[in-house]
Amino acid sequence: MILLTNDDSIVRVSTFLLVAKSEEQLANDRAWLEQERYWLVHRRGFTAVTKLPGKSGSMDDLATGVGTGKIRANPPQYDRSEDLAQLRFLNESSVLHTLRQRYAANLIHTYAGLTMLIMNPAVPLAIYSEKVAHLFRRCKSADMPAHIYSVAQSAYHSMLSLRRDHSIVFLGRAGSGKTINYKYIIKYLTIVAGANNKVLTLEKLNSIWTVLEAFGNAKTVLNNSATCFAHLFSLDFDQSGQIASASIQTMLFDRWRVARRPEGEGTFHILSRLVLGAEGNLRRDLMLGDLNPTDSNPYVHFNVSNEDKVQQAGLFKMVYGSLMQLGVSELENKIIFSVLAAILHLGAAGAAKVSTPTSNRSSYHSSSPGSDYGNRSPAVDDWTGQDALDGFVIGLYSEVFNIVAALINRHLSVGTHTVNTILVFDCPGFQNPASCGQQNGATFQDFCFNYLQERLQLLFHNTALVATRDRYTQEQIEVICDDTDEVSPEGIVNILDNIPSNNSSLSLAMRSSQLDLRQSDSTPGLLWLLDEHRSLPSQQSFVDSVFNVYREREHQTLINKAAGNHHLLIQHCQGTNPVLYNTENWTKLAREHPSTKAAVALLLESTHNDMATVFTMSRSANISSTLGGSLAGIDGTQSLRRASSIRRTFTSSSAAAIKRKSDGLIETLRRSKVKFVHCLLAQHNVAAVDGTKEYFDSTINVPLLRSQIRGAEVLPAVRLYKQGFPECMQLTEFIRRFGLLASSSNSTEASTPTPTDTKTSIEEILFGIDLDASSYRVGLSQDRAGPAVEWSGAGRMRSVRPRHVAFIHENPPPALPNLPQNPPSYV
Ligand SMILES: Nc1ncnc2c1ncn2[C@@H]1O[C@H](COP(=O)(O)OP(=O)(O)OP(=O)(O)O)[C@@H](O)[C@H]1O
């Protein structure tokens, strides 16, 4: 258990220990630095080496593995630095070394400048209790140890002081811990900010997570309970800083899973839980007893042990109870589960192709008794009967998922005036099935998830690097920072989603010379090619269309043809994570079968009045008008009050809609002040292995961690943070707070000061208090926000500041085996 204390004596002692060094310590430091310790980088890791005195030749020559050559090691006291910006020698190996040292001590959180890195510990840690949350309350950013609660607290504090909307975004690979930390952020804000009229409580949060996990998660090869939807939790605060309303927007990115789950993976948990857990009248009314778990059913699988079956049955009862706690009536519950039961019965029935007497076209009928949906979904081109049924089931499940989210919102959203919002965003992680030995190639669903992760990484790049540099230029602040090894995610994002500027057709795009395409910035992205592909003869494979366009050598570093008719390789995450995709069936998946829309219409127009009422409700003004919140909707146009139309935008399954959804999301996030959390995996498949503890007690997979650090652009961001001036304050605000320190002749009280007066006064104040001139700059620009004083990141040394909180392990966790405290080398 971690205990945080603000006991003064502890603060003073730790401050003294950190600041004051004995002569002996200083001598040791000097001796260590004179030794010239370097990292020798190699494919499998890095090794500490010492330069022998008197030997010539550059140590940089040894760094054959990275190419940067900046490989000096830090003295041992930096081993567990809480902020990577504190490292004296900032390089990739030193970053890996620090993360590894901290991880060995169960310190899974590390600041990377303004970003937080979190390693997945794979085992529960007792550092998230309510008591711990209260210790972060009212703390300022610089006073908090690295912890997921410090991210939440600094967003909350910043929202209150700036009166601006904030968002917290999680990035990382599948199973790296995004969802768990997303929940901790919301839990923290609920505990610390409190909620008016108990609109949000910890019990309600538990119910929400239980319901969403059941309806939106599934077992995948990379995670036993992977999130298959993106969710944006919106916490709306009133003037006093309390939560006044909340809502959740969901996007079921993997809606195909209900009908076409990848080999070896599961469908949404709720389907098997319903069959195993429903009892009494519900079981009888939904005829669940007729479904034999041993029969093959494309829409559910029961490949679990008896013990698991009991557990799944228990989980169903929890879901049912949670829905009730969230204000869902028994009737509404029954309606939701009856649609799910219909999906299961349709799966048991299967589909057959029949000819209709009135038309030459074929249509598809389920052989399920009483089912006449086939007439509503005319077959198109190469659709099969199973496609029609699958499309229908996808439509049904998507509507169920939407109504569940709408019912949660009905319970949380209060039509009250709110001032600011904190958005917390989680989505499926980066997928690479090859990392767990699956060589068949990644699926279309994986492609969609990876595209969204790339968009988020680009948002990070633009926020942490591009916008920061632009601001320095605007303020005429010179920052010397090496950016030669920076690679922007923009190149890969363009390959994935570029829309040709001349809106040419696919056949035109393929006929045009590459030069023309490049000159007009018209090289179409893969999503556009998928969308357009339906206009091509079906013999042409999607991969052929792609490589008719992407013949250019300059693209070969990002996209390549792979062995097999349908395979292509995309170099994701700045080339650190190549993913082999199998594009067979992608053109079909990117389209929406007409039966999907028919399923939606069927629910809305159902002759069963209650059913029609419930499903219409999620689209009607009733529910959307109850949605509170000051923040614009995820589609990037209007407020959340337009939730029904937002959801419609998101239910289209075409490739173009995936881009549109992502655009809306990024635009929504961009308008707020964004904080990023990068979740990291220490080992492949941590989240998919049972008996994780034993599996996990091994050394860190250094190449895996290195590729995540590179892909996440940690080093460039920390470097800019360290060299730059990341903390800024408007000049007027500075004067308001510190104006008293100005000499009387320059007092700003006499008359309204001009910007030049203000700047001069500030420079005098800073000069007067003898602050190191290299640690600040006074900006010049006259932009809307006004010129600013910028504070150096390097000057923000958390470890030498008196802390208001400190970590103490009550029961120190056992050190991981095979991890010496100061390992001489890593392999
Ligand atoms: N802070 C943590 N403490 C304990 N266990 C953790 C922590 N973070 C992650 N885990 C473990 O890792 C597993 C995967 O975490 P989680 O589902 O949050 O990952 P994810 O990144 O959201 O995955 P996906 O992208 O596949 O949805 C969890 O089930 C849990 O076992």
Least confident of 159-163, 307-311, 781-785: 781-785
**Tell me, what's the pLDDT at 756?**
64
**Tell me, what's the pLDDT at 134?**
94
C-alpha of residue 190 to centroid of ligand 1, in Å: 21
Give percent helix, percent strand, percent coil of the chain, each to the nearest 5. 50, 15, 35
235 confidence band (pLDDT: 50, 70, 90): very high
**Tell me, what's the pLDDT at 708?**
96
**Tell me, what's the pLDDT at 818?**
35
Distance (Å, whole) CA 398 – CA 401? 5
Distance (Å, whole) CA 805 – CA 81? 16
**Tell me, what's the pLDDT at 202?**
96
Mean pLDDT estimate for the chain: 76
C-alpha of residue 174 to centroid of ligand 1, in Å: 8
Percent of the chain surpassing pLDDT 90 = 35
C-alpha of residue 224 to centroid of ligand 1, in Å: 10
Annotated binding site for ATP: 172-179
Which pair of tokens denotes residue 555? Answer: 């693209």
**Tell me, what's the pLDDT at 545?**
82
Which stretch, 86-90, 200-204, 597-601, 809-813, has highest mean pLDDT? 200-204
Which has more confidence, 267 or 61? 267
Nearest to 132 by CA among 154, 117, 147, 112: 147
Determine the average pLDDT of the residues in 262-284. 89
SS3 560: strand
**Tell me, what's the pLDDT at 228?**
92
Least confident of 262-266, 296-300, 339-343, 618-622: 618-622
Nearest to 465 by CA among 482, 477, 453: 482
C-alpha of residue 175 to centroid of ligand 1, in Å: 5
**Tell me, what's the pLDDT at 531?**
80
Determine the average pLDDT of the residues in 690-712. 75
- Tell me which of 117, 120, 217, 436 to substitute to probe ligand 1's pocket, judged by most ligand atoms within 8 Å of the beta carbon: 120
Least confident of 48-52, 62-66, 474-478, 496-500: 62-66
C-alpha of residue 172 to centroid of ligand 1, in Å: 11
Residue with CA closest to ligand 1 atom 23 = 175
77 confidence band (pLDDT: 50, 70, 90): confident
Which pair of tokens denotes residue 121? Answer: 């510990």
Bridge-based pairing of strands 230-237 and 243-251 is antiparallel
435-440-444-447 Cα dihedral, nearest 10 degrees: 30
Where does ligand 1 bind, in terms of residues with CB under 6 Å?
A: 120-122, 124-125, 172, 174-180, 222-223, 226-227, 428-429, 679, 686-687
Determine the average pLDDT of the residues in 480-499. 84
**Tell me, what's the pLDDT at 742?**
66
> For ligand 1, what atom is nearest to the CA of residue 428?
25
Distance (Å, whole) CA 10 – CA 417? 43
Determine the average pLDDT of the residues in 738-744. 69
DSSP string, 293-312: TTS-BTTB-----HHHHHHH
Q: Which residues contact 723 (CB under 8 A, 6 or more apart)?
A: 479, 480, 481, 793, 794
> For ligand 1, what atom is nearest to the CA of residue 184?
1
Least confident of 52-61, 529-538, 620-629, 672-681: 620-629
Q: Is the pLDDT of residue 643 over 50?
A: no
C-alpha of residue 219 to centroid of ligand 1, in Å: 13
Residue with CA closest to ligand 1 atom 8 = 177
Distance (Å, whole) CA 823 – CA 696? 19
> For ligand 1, what atom is nearest to the CA of residue 222?
26
Least confident of 19-28, 130-139, 258-267, 649-658: 649-658
Determine the average pLDDT of the residues in 27-50. 74
- pLDDT tens column, 746-773: 544 545 556 566 777 777 887 777 777 7
> For ligand 1, what atom is nearest to the CA of residue 426?
22
**Tell me, what's the pLDDT at 552?**
64
C-alpha of residue 827 to centroid of ligand 1, in Å: 26
> For ligand 1, what atom is nearest to the CA of residue 227?
27
441-445-447-451 Cα dihedral, nearest 10 degrees: -160
Which has more confidence, 144 or 699? 144
Residue with CA closest to ligand 1 atom 9 = 177
**Tell me, what's the pLDDT at 355?**
54
Which stretch, 306-320, 374-388, 567-581, has highest mean pLDDT? 567-581
> For ligand 1, what atom is nearest to the CA of residue 225?
17
C-alpha of residue 713 to centroid of ligand 1, in Å: 22
Distance (Å, whole) CA 176 – CA 778? 40
Residue with CA closest to ligand 1 atom 11 = 122
Q: Is the pLDDT of residue 214 over 50?
A: yes
Q: Is the pLDDT of residue 783 over 50?
A: no
- pLDDT tens column, 370-417: 333 233 333 345 778 888 888 999 999 999 999 999 999 999 988 778
Annotated binding site: 172-179
Which stretch, 283-292, 303-312, 648-657, 745-754, has highest mean pLDDT? 283-292
Question: Is 807:6 a contact under the CB 8 Å cutoff?
Answer: no
Determine the average pLDDT of the residues in 692-697. 48
